[in-house]
A and B are shown apart, each in its own frame.
Chain A
Amino acid sequence: MAPTIKLSAKLKGSVADIKSLMLHPMDTGSRINPDTGNTVPAHHITQLIFTNNGKQVMVANFSTAISKNPFFGFSFEGAKAGDILKASWVDNLGEADEIETQLA
């Protein structure tokens, strides 16, 4: 799958500042397709999970009320250069994607 996650991971001492931007329609299920007149079914990321060297550092549970192409930022401590940060999402239709980056 083409990458749907952009990650920025900045290390300041032992604190990692993470910013993520996902490509996803986050359809609520109320939008009407202007061409067909039918409602577009809900299609949204349900969980976005971050691990650092395999240890979970964040679980974001999203509803349809998170904006299209979601942005999400957070920070954690105990990080060091060389750590592998992984971000993965799943959506309500079973689609998924993930990306890894090394903290530096």
Chain B
Amino acid sequence: MKITRRVVLKSSLVLLALTSVPRLLMAAAWPQKTFSSSVASEALKALLGTDATTPSDEIDLKVPEIAENGAVVPVSIKTSLENVESISIVVKNNPRPMAAMFEIPPGTFPKIATRLKMGETSDVMAVIKTSNGIYSTSKEVKVTIGGCGG
């Protein structure tokens, strides 16, 4: 590749990023396979080894019934299940359904809040992995204006 100033700047930025935040290298690797999957069941298998989840009413999933703007859909998840290891969010009808996965170390509450992009009306599923198994609950969010592309 042509060694332009842009390439040199970009490479040194990467080097700087890598050297200035060494602690990041100690985190579990970003689970690329689950995030690039275009089928919800495949994404779950890639992340958790299975797409089988036990429905649970101990998971409190808050999403709007109707999303005014598909680019910014607020979601919050909390659970009274014990020994939670991770919380994942699956948006079934998104081009890539696995939206996020949160690793919950001991001492951290199994509770998260964030904002999602949804391309169209879809079920949003919260998947909780505990030391006892994998649990889930799901709610439909109606989307009028999709938020995935231009």
Contacts and interface: CB of A to CB of B under 8 A. Distances in A.
Chain B's interface size range is 35 or more
Interface of B, helix, strand, loop or mixed by DSSP: mixed
Contacts of A47: 24, 27, 30
Chain A's interface size range is 35 or more
B24 A34 contact: no
B102 A61 contact: yes
B17 A30 contact: no
Contacts, number: 130
B108 A74 contact: yes
A56 B148 contact: no
Nearest to B15: A94
Interface of A, helix, strand, loop or mixed by DSSP: strand
Interface of B: 13-14, 17-18, 20-21, 23-24, 27-28, 30-31, 35, 71-73, 76, 91, 94-96, 98-105, 107-109, 111-118, 147-150
